[in-house]
Amino acid sequence: MNSIAISFLKAKRAHYYVDKQSAVIFCCFKCGNKIKMTLDGEWDCSFCCESGNVITLDEIVEKLGNQPSSLLFNPRKERKQIRDTFDKLICKYPDDRQLKNLQQRTNQLIEFLFQEKDK
């Protein structure tokens, strides 16, 4: 079911990612709230109280006539971008100890937060 959901979201150019439970995370087409589509293809939005499946999503797009374009915050992608940015900065300023220290502390904090989230 997820592959159908992913194909649909790709076709609509909507941002999404797949979480550890293989659920598809994306923004509600109606209100932009972050929502989850489970493996059985069901989703519901706690913000605007819409719910349904891929067909329902398609109906919402048809009804509203809008293309979902809201950017979804993807924590794993964000973590990678932060790491890449630190790597670039450290390459540029190899003698900056404060920067290296900040990188270390940021990485520790990120790892801590990810572990807390997975508990």
Per CB under 5 A, 31 contacts Zn ion: yes
Q: How far is the CB of 22 from Zn ion (least distance, A)?
A: 22
Give the nearest distance from C-beta 118 to Zn ion in angstroms: 26
Q: Which DSSP letter does residue 112 get?
A: H
d(CA 98, CA 100): 6
Length of the chain: 119
Calculate helix-pair angle for 97-118, 75-92, nearest 10 degrees. 170
Judged by CB under 5 A, which stretch of 14-22, 38-46, 60-68, 77-85 contacts Zn ion?
Answer: 38-46
Residue 27 CB, shortest distance to Zn ion, in Å, is 8
- How far apart CA 101 and CA 80 sit, in angstroms, is 18
63 counts as binding Zn ion under rule CB under 5 A = no
Contacts with Zn ion by CB under 5 A lie at 28, 30-31, 33, 45, 47-48
